[in-house]
Amino acid sequence: MNEQENGETPTPRVGPLNTVRDVAKELGRLYRAARRGELTPGNAAKLAYILGHQRAALETGDLERRVEELEQIGGRR
């Protein structure tokens, strides 16, 4: 039985969240859905909170990569 057959609302598809830009786009979609009344403010806030953590994780990973690159460059001198 799928979600529509048992009366549940289907979960919307979310694109990849591999970059900060992807997360920002998803936050925009989330905001617009909440403004249209498709999500309760509480659910929108919960999802925005999760997306904020996804953004922070991506930024941290990017910083780690940059530091490693700088350390490799510094080690060659």
Instruction: Examine residue 31 and state whether it is found in any structural domain, yes or no.
Output: yes
Instruction: Examine residue 44 and state whether it is found in any structural domain, yes or no.
Output: yes
pLDDT of 32 above 90: yes
- Strand, helix or coil at 6? coil
Instruction: Examine residue 1 and state whether it is found in any structural domain, yes or no.
Output: no
Instruction: Examine residue 6 and state whether it is found in any structural domain, yes or no.
Output: no
Q: Identify the band that residue 66 occupies on the pLDDT scale cut at 50, 70 and 90.
A: very high
Instruction: Examine residue 14 and state whether it is found in any structural domain, yes or no.
Output: no
Total structural domains in the chain?
1
Instruction: Examine residue 24 and state whether it is found in any structural domain, yes or no.
Output: yes
Q: Supply the pTM of this predicted model.
A: 0.75
Of 10 and 73, more confident: 73
Encode pLDDT of 33-61 as tens digits. 999 999 999 999 999 999 999 999 999 99
* 37: alpha, beta or left? (left if phi > 0; alpha if psi -120 to 50): left
- Contact, 55 vs 23, CB < 8 A? yes
Provide the domain limits for residue 51. 20-75
Q: Identify the band that residue 10 occupies on the pLDDT scale cut at 50, 70 and 90.
A: low
Instruction: Examine residue 3 and state whether it is found in any structural domain, yes or no.
Output: no
Tell me the CB-side half-sphere exposure of residue 40, using CA atoms within 13 A.
Answer: 3
Instruction: Examine residue 7 and state whether it is found in any structural domain, yes or no.
Output: no
